[in-house]
Amino acid sequence: MPKSPFFAACEHGPRPFGSVAWVLALLTLTVSQLALFGQAPAQQALPTLSVVVTPHGDNAPAQRDKPYLILVSIDGFRFDYARLYGATNLQSLARRGASAPKGMIPAYPSVTFPNHYTIITGLYPENHGIVANSFYDPARKQKFVYTDRSTSGDGSWYGGVPLWVLAERQGMRAACFFWPGAEAEIGGVRPTYNVLYDPRMPNEQRVNQVVDWLRLRPEQRPHIITLYFSDVDTAGHETGTDSPQTAQAVRRIDGLIGRLSAGIATLGLPVNLVVVSDHGMVNTQGPWINLQDFADLTGFQTVGPLLYPPDEAAAARVYAQLHNASDKFVVYRRSQLPARLHYSRSERIGDPVVVPTGPYLIRAYASNDPKEVPPKGMHGYDPQSMEAMRGIFYAAGPGIRPGATLAPFENVNVYPLLAKILGLETGPIDGDPNALQSILRMTSAPALRRPGALVPSQPQR
Ligand SMILES: [Zn+2]
């Protein structure tokens, strides 16, 4: 359960350049930033915004009249933050469209990479293969590390069909301004437009680029666009859920949602805006718990709290040693995990599997960093027994019924909803295509195309 958002600015520092080979293999365009909102030019230290373009041709004629969809993720935005901290633009989205007042339920474990990838594929982590932010693959004998572009940018780690791949395969252009998996060629397909992750990229530039993409001519204009913000997760980890810093991060990102809504309103296009988060946040209790204090992990591969045994006997032994060892966690053989967690089918999960019973910090081995400070906020816990793990869901636009509300639902159901909004056919998935049906407008096609249905509130300062 790493404490940083994906690609972890604070842990490893920004790494603006990835595999040079594949970047050069693609046509790289630098897109000048149009000052849509009259902002000052970027400061010197800020990164240049480069859009990696993978040409797939124009939007197919059958796709051009379809609506547009912007999918925004605000990492670590707990379901009750908007009300607690006065996120007026998100609350306005709820009035103009649909929301889940009691939150959206992440997949287990409630961490960034697995859940972003569940939202974008409609598969549980055990089925899409990204079972943690970092994990080991016993068959490959390799580690996947979300902050290491040599693995997070390697499509062979990723299962399922991300929405941008689904779209591109059906002749619909797609764009990603950051999303876990977006830098990889998955199923042989990349999004037409992509920006390599750089945490220093100013949030305003991200919003401007998304709106600029929608100003392209119809043949080139992406119909599905992803966008990602890390500020709220970072503040939650560093300062806890009740801090002024977290409240400020919530309002700052809410202001960007207002800016994005205002930008959309200038376009005269049928744009649906969906805002989600991958998980919530909870204040931690107690110091780190190191599994090495309870069990002999000799011969195991470990990644964070995940345990990979050298053989069955070692798995059985460590299970017995961890069983009833603490009231802070429960240990299962992988095949015995509760079915509701959908966390058994992949060898990448390890065996045995330790599930925290509360907001505790658990890992295999103690850190050797004497200056280590435990994070104040954390996530990753059982999202069905801990309400604080729930994220957000807001949706507004011509395809969405105003004022619709949803009881808490699993985020695996978002993908079929988005595919339906875009008129794309999905393959086999875990998500239920009917779970969120109630928020869709009773579609006559003209309603889907009605421009200007998304009216923003006043952008927040
Ligand atoms: Zn986090």
Whole-number Å distance, alpha carbon 390 to ligand 1 midpoint, is: 13
What's the structural domain count of the chain? Answer: 2
Please tell me whether residue 96 adopts helix, strand or coil conformation: helix
E-only strand ranges, 122-211: 134-137, 142-145, 174-177, 193-194
Residues 404 and 431 in one domain: yes
Whole-number Å distance, alpha carbon 110 to ligand 1 midpoint, is: 9
| Whether the Cβ atoms of residue 408 and residue 102 lie closer than 8 Å to each other | yes
Residues 294 and 278 in one domain: no
Which domain CATH number covers 342?
3.30.1360.180
Whole-number Å distance, alpha carbon 21 to ligand 1 midpoint, is: 30
Distance (Å, rounded) from C-alpha 120 to C-alpha 276? Answer: 11
Distance (Å, rounded) from C-alpha 294 to C-alpha 325? Answer: 7
Residues 164 and 76 in one domain: yes
Residue among 353, 445, 394 at smallest CA distance from 96? 394
Torsion of CA 420, 81, 341, 230, to 10 degrees: 80
Note the pLDDT of residue 443: 54
Residues 293 and 270 in one domain: no
Name the H helices within 324-413.
none
Instruction: List average pLDDT for each run of 10 residues in the chain, which is 461 residues long.
Output: 39 31 32 33 72 97 97 98 98 98 98 98 98 98 98 98 98 98 98 97 98 98 98 98 98 98 98 98 97 98 98 98 98 98 98 98 96 96 98 98 98 98 97 97 52 39 33
Q: Reply yes or no on whether 112 is catalytic.
A: yes
Distance (Å, rounded) from C-alpha 332 to C-alpha 41? Answer: 54
| Amino acid identity for residue 330 in this structure | V
Instruction: Determine the structural domain holding residue 363 and report its residue range.
Output: 288-374
Residues 215 and 324 in one domain: no
Q: Residue 209 falls within a domain, yes or no?
A: yes
Q: Residue 5 falls within a domain, yes or no?
A: no
Whole-number Å distance, alpha carbon 425 to ligand 1 midpoint, is: 32
Residues 268 and 303 in one domain: no
The DSSP bridge pattern shows strands 174-177 and 193-194 to be parallel
Distance (Å, rounded) from C-alpha 306 to C-alpha 125? Answer: 14
- Neighbouring CB atoms inside 10 A of 218's CB total 12
Whole-number Å distance, alpha carbon 238 to ligand 1 midpoint, is: 10
Torsional sign, CA 295, 354, 74, 216: positive
Distance (Å, rounded) from C-alpha 65 to C-alpha 298? Answer: 60
Residues 266 and 154 in one domain: yes
Q: Residue 147 falls within a domain, yes or no?
A: yes
Catalytic residue among 30, 48, 88, 112: 112
Whole-number Å distance, alpha carbon 199 to ligand 1 midpoint, is: 14
Last residue of a domain, one of 324, 355, 374: 374
The residues that bridge with 176 in the sheet, in sequence order, are 194, 226
Distance (Å, rounded) from C-alpha 179 to C-alpha 186? Answer: 13
Last residue of a domain, one of 341, 374, 407: 374
Cα dist from 433 to 116, 355, 418, 430, 436, whole Å: 18, 30, 10, 9, 7
Whole-number Å distance, alpha carbon 229 to ligand 1 midpoint, is: 12
What is the strand order of the sheet 27-30 is part of?
27-30, 50-53, 193-194, 174-177, 224-229, 68-74, 271-276, 393-396, 98-99
Last residue of a domain, one of 317, 342, 374: 374
Record the pTM: 0.88
Distance (Å, rounded) from C-alpha 176 to C-alpha 169? Answer: 16
Q: Residue 6 falls within a domain, yes or no?
A: no
Residue among 205, 185, 280 at smallest CA distance from 237? 280
Q: Residue 8 falls within a domain, yes or no?
A: no
Residues 272 and 296 in one domain: no
Whole-number Å distance, alpha carbon 31 to ligand 1 midpoint, is: 30
Distance (Å, rounded) from C-alpha 192 to C-alpha 222? Answer: 8
Furthest C-alpha separation in the chain: 65
Q: Residue 401 falls within a domain, yes or no?
A: yes
Which domain CATH number covers 210?
3.40.720.10
Whole-number Å distance, alpha carbon 84 to ligand 1 midpoint, is: 19
Residues 368 and 241 in one domain: no
Residue among 202, 184, 242 at smallest CA distance from 23? 184
The DSSP bridge pattern shows strands 377-378 and 393-396 to be unpaired
Listed in sequence order, the residues at least 6 apart from 121 whose beta carbon sits closer than 8 Å to its beta carbon are 128, 159, 160, 161, 162, 163, 415, 429
Whole-number Å distance, alpha carbon 214 to ligand 1 midpoint, is: 30
Residues 114 and 127 in one domain: yes
DSSP 23-79: HHHSEEEEPPPP-TT-PPPPPTTSPP-EEEE----SPPHHHHTS-EEEEEEETT--T
Provide φ and ψ at 195, rounded to 5°: -120, 125
Residue among 55, 41, 43, 48 at smallest CA distance from 17? 48
Q: Residue 115 falls within a domain, yes or no?
A: yes
Q: Residue 450 falls within a domain, yes or no?
A: no
Residues 148 and 100 in one domain: yes
Q: How many residues does the chain have?
A: 461
Distance (Å, rounded) from C-alpha 304 to C-alpha 170? Answer: 39
Residues 271 and 295 in one domain: no
